[in-house]
Copies of this chain bind each other. A is one copy, B any other.
Amino acid sequence: MKPLILVTNDDGINAPGIHALAKFMGEIGDVYIVAPDRERSAVGHMLTMHRPLRVEEIRERVCSVNGTPTDCVAVAINKILPRKPDLVAAGINKGANLGDDVTYSGTVSAAFEGTLLGVPSFAISLAGEKPYHYELAEPYALDVARYILEKHLPDDTLLNVNVPNRPKESLKGIRITRQGRRAYDNAIHDIYSPLGEKHYWIGGGKPLWEQGEDMDMQAILEGYISVTPVHVDMTNYSALEILRKEWKNTRG
């Protein structure tokens, strides 16, 4: 039996990236697409609980949901697919999901939700500017998917894959990385409504990236495909011991 693969994204069911990813995954498995009915970027790990969700079957094995990427994965796995899938593949996102942005990303959150529901998952993004050449991601998406299906992932861990959107011949292969930090500079702009009311618009600014050879962004800058293992358990275990000691001391 071929593996059952759920493909989703946060750019919405009409984004070219998801259909590219579905095509690639179709080479190794039976694919279902369940994706938001419109763009749902930067929604983080948002779950819609205040209203019912509508699923529309666009054609066989292709459904849209009027919700977030997390909703799509939850509804697909629990209600739409014929059985629990063997893999969740989220993307191909138009634009990078690196460093702190991982926590805002709807695409990574979809893979997060798959992992929480016990299905091995990865997110894949094209890092760079328009025009996006989704075909660049094909060998790496397949490589990662095959790896996950054959080897399985460590517990409670998903893979966050970013492929540099640059000429194919300049790509240097996969580098296993960690999630870097970035700081944005001046990322909130003052703007005024037609009635002269002041508003703030978040976005833009010059990101300052943490340096280091094993950082996700650094890999991209050097032309590597970045693959980061992301853990759903966010406990800082080294802080745990420090806190336990200090808490006792200060209250001794």
Chain A positions near chain B (C-beta within 8 angstroms): 41-55, 70-71, 74-75, 78-79, 100, 102-104, 109, 112, 116, 118, 147, 150-151, 153-154, 156-157, 174, 176, 178-179, 181, 183, 187-188, 190-191, 193, 197-203, 214, 227-240, 242-244, 246-247, 250
- Does B54 lie within 8 Å of A46, measured CB to CB? no
- Does A154 lie within 8 Å of B239, measured CB to CB? yes
Quick one: which of B47, B200, B240 contacts A44, CB cutoff 8 A? B47
How many copies of this chain are found per oligomer?
2
Interface residues of A, dominant DSSP:
mixed
Quick one: which of B75, B153, B237 contacts A239, CB cutoff 8 A? B153
Decide: A179 near B246, CB < 8 A? Known: A43-B44, A43-B46, A200-B79.
no
How far is it, in angstroms, between the C-alpha of A190 and the C-alpha of B41 when the chains are bound? 27
- Does B55 lie within 8 Å of A200, measured CB to CB? yes
How far is it, in angstroms, between the C-alpha of A150 and the C-alpha of B249 when the chains are bound? 13
Decide: A46 near B53, CB < 8 A? Known: A147-B247, A153-B239, A232-B103.
no
Decide: A200 near B53, CB < 8 A? Known: A43-B46, A116-B100, A233-B181.
yes
Task: Write out the residue numbers on chain B whose beta carbons fall within 8 Å of the beta carbon of A202.
Answer: 47-49, 53, 71, 74-75
Task: Write out the residue numbers on chain B whose beta carbons fall within 8 Å of the beta carbon of A46.
Answer: 42-44, 46, 104
Task: Write out the residue numbers on chain B whose beta carbons fall within 8 Å of the beta carbon of A75.
Answer: 188, 200, 202
